[in-house]
Amino acid sequence: MIETNFISKFKYAIKGLVYLWRREKSFRWQVVAAALVQVVALGLRLEATIWALLTLTSAIVLCAEAFNTVLERLLDIVEPRLSTQVSLLKDLLAAAVLIVVLAALAVVLIILI
């Protein structure tokens, strides 16, 4: 029973990733960027700790985008019309993702330069 429940949850997670990949252009770009960072890290033969930091940083960016998508969809359900308040909330969500992306970029530049 526990194994089946775990497998079901894993299937839901994969379904969410597929949704993000198919519907969110930003997520696709961020996955490509994360993959490029991994290729560069491999090519430069970075230490495991540094490589792990880059991987974790990339994962944080992808999670931020996923949370952004969830909250935007929730706002669309709660307030289907694009009101001023909903528009502001979506702008703030986008700003939060941008902050995470800029911080990730800083980490990458600090490590690679």
Reduced to 3 states (helix: H, G, I; strand: E, B; else coil), residue 81 is coil
> Residue 72 class from Cβ within 10 Å (0-12 exposed, 13-18 middle, 19+ buried)?
middle
Q: For residues 103 and 94, give the distance between their C-alpha atoms in angstroms, rounded to a whole number.
A: 14
Q: Is 3 annotated as a binding residue?
A: no
One-letter amino acid at 40 equals V
One-letter amino acid at 90 equals K
Q: Is 91 annotated as a binding residue?
A: yes
Q: Which residues are catalytic?
A: 65
Q: Which helix (H) or strand (E) holds 104?
A: helix 84-112
Question: Per the annotation, where are the binding residues for a divalent metal cation?
Answer: 24, 72
Task: List residues forming the annotated binding site for ATP.
Answer: 12, 24, 72, 90-91
Residues flagged as binding site: 12, 24, 65, 72, 90-91
- Residues annotated within the binding site for substrate are 65
